[in-house]
Amino acid sequence: MTAPLRVLVTGAAGQIGYSIVIRIADGTVFGKEQPVQLVLLDVPQCANVLEGVVFELQDCALPTLHSVEAVTDEKSAFTGVDYAFLVGAMPRREGMERKDLLAANVKIFKSQGKALAEFAKPTTKVIVVGNPANTNAFIAAKYAAGKIPARNFSAMTRLDHNRALAQLALKTGTTIGDVKNVIIWGNHSSTQFPDVTHATVKKNGSETAAYDAVGDNAFLQGAFIATVQKRGGVIIEKRKLSSAMSAAKAACDHIHDWHFGTKAGEFVSMAVPSDGSYGIPQGLIFSFPVTIDAATREWKIVQGLNFDDFAKGKIAATTKELEEERDDALKACDDANI
């Protein structure tokens, strides 16, 4: 029998966590033959809610769910995990400045980074979903260093990637399966650069460059980018709640592809530590196009892509924001003497 994978979801009492756990438990993420031990972490105040989620998962009667446990302490949560979905984070509240938000999240992700180093496996793979995701991943990796390699940490830009796929499909009158190789560059924020320069769309049986398939450069460099960048805010305005379903699905897509590898000829967007590719500062958690080897489960940044001046400007802006976030977060570490 295949040994079970131990999978942690933090913030599991929240909307996104609730939507993630069923996909992990039912085999969507790791396959129908792979048993999982699911660990749900949240703050002690949410213990009753977590217990309710456990009851629901039990009631789903899922063959792939080997066990499920609800915990409120980091030692129990992080011990022996193979994959960690770090969803829980301090949300930005009205009147809160960015530096205050960063300081609050530095505390959370510093603690979780240290817990990963102390209790998790050195092979643990981590996705950070809680915002600001890129910088939270940077902090978690910093405090897990020495035990877990930085390249095992990632932040989610797959939601933006999926939004870009959907917008291209809608614009061209095709389906999601007909569109591939969109790219999200940079930060999971309003400075991200959704890029379709290297994307293709299958129409009438043949693959066409996205720019040719759309035939509207102004749209692709204007409304398309703005729609992807601002989609989360629009959904909050409409639902009065965040985009939990699509965020959860994207997080699961991200880990599914990390576990099984990307399809031949296709790449996906992941925020990973920069190795200096495309002039992005070393170590910055930056969204790149990546391919993932199915045998080794190692990601590799796609090389040799060219930028025009428009793209260079967009990438420079998101890089600047990420550098400022990183520096503010490191200052928060210093100010808190951590």
The residue ranges of every structural domain in the chain are 5-155, 157-323
- State the pLDDT confidence band at 204, using cuts at 50, 70 and 90: confident
76 vs 102 pLDDT, higher one: 76
pLDDT at 337: 62
By the 8 A CB rule, do 57 and 70 touch? no
Domain 5-155 has CATH 3.40.50.720: yes
- What is the average per-residue pLDDT within 112-121? 98
What confidence score (pLDDT) does residue 30 get?
Answer: 98
Of the candidates 71, 22, 76, the one whose C-alpha atom is nearest the C-alpha of residue 245 is 22
**Residue 94 pLDDT:** 67
% of the chain residues with pLDDT over 70: 97
Position 189 scores a pLDDT of: 92
Give the pLDDT confidence score for residue 100 in this predicted structure.
Answer: 80
Answer yes or no: is 162 a known binding residue: no
The string of pLDDT tens digits covering residues 18-56 is 999 999 999 999 999 999 999 999 999 999 999 999 999
Tell me whether residue 66 is one of the annotated catalytic residues: no
What are 305-316's pLDDT values in tens digits?
Answer: 999 999 999 999
Q: Does 163 carry a binding-site annotation?
A: yes
Average pLDDT value for residue range 203-229: 96
What is the pLDDT at residue 48?
97
pLDDT at 43 (0 to 100): 96
* Residue 25 pLDDT: 98
Determine which one of 161, 188, 254, 259 is catalytic: 188
**Band of residue 159 on the pLDDT scale cut at 50, 70, 90:** very high
For the stretch 271-308, pLDDT in tens is 999 999 999 999 999 999 999 999 999 999 999 999 99
187 assigned ligand-binding residue: no
Calculate mean pLDDT across residues 200-210.
Answer: 94
pLDDT for residue 338:
54
Asked if residue 11 belongs to a known ligand binding site, the reply is yes
Residue 96 has pLDDT above 80, yes or no: no
Query: Which residue, 124, 184, 143, 146, is CA-closest to 322?
Result: 184
What is the CATH T-level fold of the domain 157-323, as seen in this structure?
Answer: L-2-Hydroxyisocaproate Dehydrogenase; Chain A, domain 2 (3.90.110)
Q: What is the pLDDT of residues 130-149, one digit of tens each?
A: 999 999 999 999 999 999 99
What's the pLDDT band for 103 if we cut at 50, 70, 90?
confident
pLDDT of residue 229: 94
The reply to whether 13 sits in an annotated binding site is yes
Q: Is 15 annotated as a binding residue?
A: yes
What is this structure's pTM? Answer: 0.96
